[in-house]
């Protein structure tokens, strides 16, 4: 965090009693307020999360993140014919292979999101701040990431998305036709 951000947080926290006061406090400091899922109205939240749902479905299809996530390590078959020592060695090797595959999958997903499909990822992050694709593309570096992290740390926003992910509703929402 740069010094300007740290100073703003201190100044804003001195003046703000609840989230509704944040916009006014930031305007007093001479900065534009940032609307995001953590500080919008109920109606704005519902409309924007539906827009995000549609964008996420497209983004997942384009990035192949769900396919990459399913890549599995080739494991050594453990049989009853193996000695205890052979089984232990095979299990240890399998664990190494699984960990290596998980790291490779994560690296491939990061490449797919942040390099190969950077424009679509920026558009998706922009939607969380109520920005058009053009506005999101022209924002300063770290603006979207900082706002994404603010929302990620908001227990209500994360609770909403966690509830969707834990239910069958998420698969229905992602596969629904427009």
SS3 for 19-72 is HHHHHHHHHHCCCCCCCCCCCCCHHHHHHHHHHHHHHHHHHHHHHCHHHHHCCC
User: For residues 121 and 114, what is the distance between their CA atoms, to the nearest angstrom?
Assistant: 7
Give the CA distances from residue 62 to residues 32, 65, 121, 142, in Å, rounded to whole numbers and listed in that order.
33, 8, 10, 23
pLDDT for 97: 97
User: For residues 178 and 176, what is the distance between their CA atoms, to the nearest angstrom?
Assistant: 6
Residues composing the chain = 178
User: For residues 65 and 124, what is the distance between their CA atoms, to the nearest angstrom?
Assistant: 14
Radius of gyration of the chain (CA): 22
A 10 A CB-CB count for 131 gives 22
Confidence of residue 84 (pLDDT cuts 50, 70, 90): very high
pLDDT for 113: 93
pLDDT for 8: 41
Q: What is the pLDDT of residues 52-66, one digit of tens each?
A: 888 988 998 999 999
Using DSSP's 3-state secondary structure scheme, residue 1 falls into: coil
């Amino acid at each position: 965090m740069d010094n300007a951000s740290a100073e703003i947080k201190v100044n804003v926290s001195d003046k703000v009693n609840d989230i509704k006061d944040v916009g006014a406090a930031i305007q007093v400091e001479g900065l534009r307020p940032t609307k995001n899922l953590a500080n919008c109205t109920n109606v704005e939240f519902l409309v924007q999360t539906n827009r995000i749902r549609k964008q996420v479905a497209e983004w997942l299809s384009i990035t192949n993140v769900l396919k990459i996530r399913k890549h599995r390590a080739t494991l050594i078959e453990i049989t009853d014919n193996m000695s205890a020592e052979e089984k232990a060695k095979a299990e240890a090797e399998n664990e190494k292979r699984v960990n290596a595959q998980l790291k490779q999958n994560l690296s491939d997903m990061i490449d797919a999101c942040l390099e190969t499909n950077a424009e679509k990822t920026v558009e998706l992050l922009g939607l969380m701040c109520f920005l058009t694709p053009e506005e999101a593309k022209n924002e300063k570096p770290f603006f979207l990431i900082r706002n994404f992290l603010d929302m990620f740390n908001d227990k209500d926003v994360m609770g909403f998305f966690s509830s969707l992910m834990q239910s069958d509703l998420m698969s229905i929402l992602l596969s629904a036709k427009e």
